[in-house]
Structure 1
Amino acid sequence: MGEIIRVAFDAVLANKLRSLLTMLGIVIGIAAVITMVALGEGAQRSVEQRLKTLGTNVLTVRPGQSFSGGLGRGQATMTIDDAEALRTQPKHIQAVAPEIESRFQVEYGASNANLSVVGTWPAYFSINESHLTAGRMFSDDEDRGRRRVVVLGALAGTQLGLRDSASLVGETVRIRGIPFEVIGVLAEKGSQGFSNPDESLYIPLSTAQFRVMGSNRIRSIAVQASDEKSMENAMAEIDLKLRREHRLRPEQQADFNIRDQASLLATVQETTQTFSLLLAGIAAISLLVGGIGIMNIMLVSVTERTREIGLRKALGATGTDILLQFLVESLVLCLAGGTLGLLLGIGGAAVLQRIMGWTMVIAPEAIVVAIAFSATVGVFFGIWPARRAASLAPIESLRYE
């Protein structure tokens, strides 16, 4: 067996360039699978961490489908009146924070950046467990007065060319050309997949509606229940108040959705898992192509070494010995390609995390599966060439020119 392995390695090293080009399909396939799975896993971990920081007693209300006469009439709308209704005489609701969001050009001095601007109530920060590193939050009075004040995410200042966002406290930035006084900077919370709240700006809701965005529609409402045991009662209270606000009869379908963090987390996990499998499936196609390339090269190798096979058989090598020799060669090519692809995939994930700021998580299971899959490809696509070599007759092989 040791001689078979040595001969197989010698055959691979004898044609270094051809072996490298043969492995290229496996290298690219494994690297793509590792990187794509790391991207999907990182997005899922980020969302899970974000949802957990919100607490288990937080509900999210979003617009749903509007119905009339049993027929859908498109996306329903939610306004500030819905949020006001929820915080009127609350029984099982502790805090309410409507949210409106859009991207605008933000300027400071000669620097500018396109950043996310969120309009909300002061309760938003306590519900999302946001903390300050400098300055203060805006107040209810400033919201009612439509004051032009802004609280920055931890990295918003770096997007405007500054090394530290805290240095902007007391300064003036321009949102859509409108001057705003920076009154506070939030502590860093980390990227959440493809979004990063640390690069957002937070302004009073009324200011956003009447001075910046010019719309009374809100994207969602975060509702914090009194405690975990009151979740179902809080959902019933929200349903009752919003139905009354939207003038919906009991038999009519609601034009809003209420989700707790558990159901939202389950939905996100299912979505990101499907996304990861889709990306990994697309990347696995290159593995199949690489396997076919290896089978092709091994068939060429059998043809080139027909006289060698005949000579080895004439000296006593069995069909099993010849089969193992070519099978080991195929396995070596795939395992070497899988190892190079693994290193390339880990490096690619690290580069994406550094350059794009995405959360990338390389699971140990993905590494094991990648190596096992590359070995399986080597065995599967190496069997036919190996069996063909083992079945050659010694006399005919020695006569081959």
Structure 2
Amino acid sequence: MIAASDLFRVSLRQVVRQRGFGVILSIALGITAFITLSVLGQEIRYKVGQDMVLMGGVNVIRVYMDDRQYPGQPLREFYPETVEAIRKLPGVGLVCASVRNGQYFPMQAGERRLTVGMLGVDENFFDVFSLEMVAGRFLSAEDQAQHRRVCVLGNEGAEFLFGSAENAMGKLLTLGNDIFEVVGVVSGVMLGDWRQGGFIPTSTMIDRNWGDGRISRLFVRGIGWEDVPPLTQLIPQTVHSIQDAPYLVVATQADQLERIKATFMWVEALLWLGIAASLMLGGFGIWYGTFAAVRARTREVGLKKAMGGSDTDILAQFLAEALCKSVAGGVLGILIGTLCVQSGAWALDTTISYTLLLISSLGSIVFSAFIGVAGGLYPAIQASRMDVVSALRFE
């Protein structure tokens, strides 16, 4: 029986001679992708999912009082304690309190006229809808607390009225009987029709009884798309447990959310399919390479058997060579995968679960060994069962 140390040394030498680096690299790439997705998959899924849902705003839930649709009903508003209770619900990222109906003002720039709608929002509105600052600043909590007469314009409204976002900074707008200062201009995928409108503090709008004159709408942003369905159940329960709201409406973009989820599911499935294909390619490479090695060394096998080598020794040698290839690919994949995880964690600004990294690395070694055994076992058995005379006569 050949010693384990000699078997390992001889197998490594044969792997280097055969130059099966393509097989090793194929397994390494599969293991790299496996470790990266195992450790950072949840964070990648969250980041990519956030980008996808923000493009359609499907993780923003609109909650409002619909009392105006029912004549004779009092016009209700959300209590401050109701808003705070919703903020504390699991899965809630941000909550913006808003005056549901805007106030519209006719304005003129040269010979052109534009009716600008002003919406009363709090300081969280811009983060809820992931709006980008073009110039100036967003509305702040101080603006709300001090009931300031300031406004933020959508980019198209600012360009219509003042020519550009930069020119709009510090300009004064006459809204009703008051003068408001333009402190910012915003844009963004989710801005929609508000590109031609503007935003003022809810406190300032309620003081003038514009719109509904009360906090009658909330924009609730879920942390991820999986949080939207449970929140549609939790939000009404929370509101009804604190105040009277018989005509509460919770509106979501359910159809669009399902389409995005289906799209992301296919993307994720294709990623795992690519990993499986890379590992299978490595397994087939080991299978083919071991068969080629057996054929090329047929006379060597016959000579070893003639000198007293057992079937077990022949089987162990070819199987060890296959294992060396696969485990070498696994080790290389772990090294590259660890570097990818470190780089990905830095790029995503997240922490690494080293426990998960260790588990996936150990699992990768075991799986690599399994690929080597699965790919090399049959050719190794064929080699061990060769007839001595036929092997020695092989040309």
Deviation at 1:339, TM superposition (A): 0.8
> Using the alignment, how far apart are the partners of 1:210 and 1:142 within structure 2?
28
Residues 1:86 and 1:338: Cα distance change in structure 2 (over 3 Å): farther
Name the residue aligned to 2:257. Answer: none
2:347 aligned with 1:343, yes or no? no
Residues 1:398 and 1:291: Cα distance change in structure 2 (over 3 Å): same
1:232-381 → structure 2 map (5 Å cutoff): 233-236=237-240, 241=245, 244=247, 255-256=251-252, 279-354=271-346, 356-357=347-348, 359=350, 361=352, 363-364=356-357, 365-381=359-375
Out of 385, 392, 397, the position equivalent to 2:386 is 392
Q: Is the 8 A contact 1:98 1:221 kept in 2?
A: yes
Question: 1:295 is matched by which residue type in structure 2?
Answer: W
> Using the alignment, how far apart are the partners of 1:24 and 1:87 within structure 2?
63
Q: Pick which of 279-288 and 318-327 moved more.
A: 279-288
Query: How many pairs align?
Result: 278
CA offset digits 1:70-111 (Å, max 9, x no partner): xxxxxxx999x99xx774456644376248xxxxxxxxxxxx
Q: TM-score scaled to structure 2, two decimals?
A: 0.55
Name the residue aligned to 1:62. Answer: 61
How well do the aligned residues superpose, as a CA RMSD in angstroms? 5.1
Aligned-pair identity in percent equals 27
Name the residue aligned to 2:149. Answer: 145
Q: TM-score scaled to structure 1, two decimals?
A: 0.54
Deviation at 1:145, TM superposition (A): 3.3
> Using the alignment, how far apart are the partners of 1:358 and 1:375 within structure 2?
34
Question: 2:238 is matched by which residue type in structure 1?
Answer: A
Residues 1:61 and 1:31: Cα distance change in structure 2 (over 3 Å): closer
Describe the SS at the equivalent of 1:316. coil
Name the residue aligned to 1:222. Answer: 220
Name the residue aligned to 1:36. Answer: 37
Describe the SS at the equivalent of 1:392. coil
Describe the SS at the equivalent of 1:147. strand
| Gaps in structure 1 of 5+ consecutive residues | 48-59, 65-76, 100-118, 128-134, 151-173, 182-200, 224-229, 247-253, 259-270
> Using the alignment, how far apart are the partners of 2:192 and 2:46 within structure 1?
33
Q: Is the 8 A contact 1:46 1:359 kept in 2?
A: no
> Using the alignment, how far apart are the partners of 2:145 and 2:77 within structure 1?
17
Q: Is the 8 A contact 1:307 1:400 kept in 2?
A: yes
1:89-108 → structure 2 map (5 Å cutoff): 89=79, 92-94=82-84, 97-98=96-97
> Using the alignment, how far apart are the partners of 1:328 and 1:239 within structure 2?
72
Choose 1 or 2 for highest CA Rg. Answer: 2
Q: Is the 8 A contact 1:8 1:328 kept in 2?
A: yes
Describe the SS at the equivalent of 2:61. strand
CA offset digits 1:14-60 (Å, max 9, x no partner): 23xx221221211111112222333313346889xxxxxxxxxxxx9
Describe the SS at the equivalent of 1:97. strand
Deviation at 1:126, TM superposition (A): 12
Q: Pick which of 85-94 and 310-319 moved more.
A: 85-94
Residues 1:284 and 1:220: Cα distance change in structure 2 (over 3 Å): farther
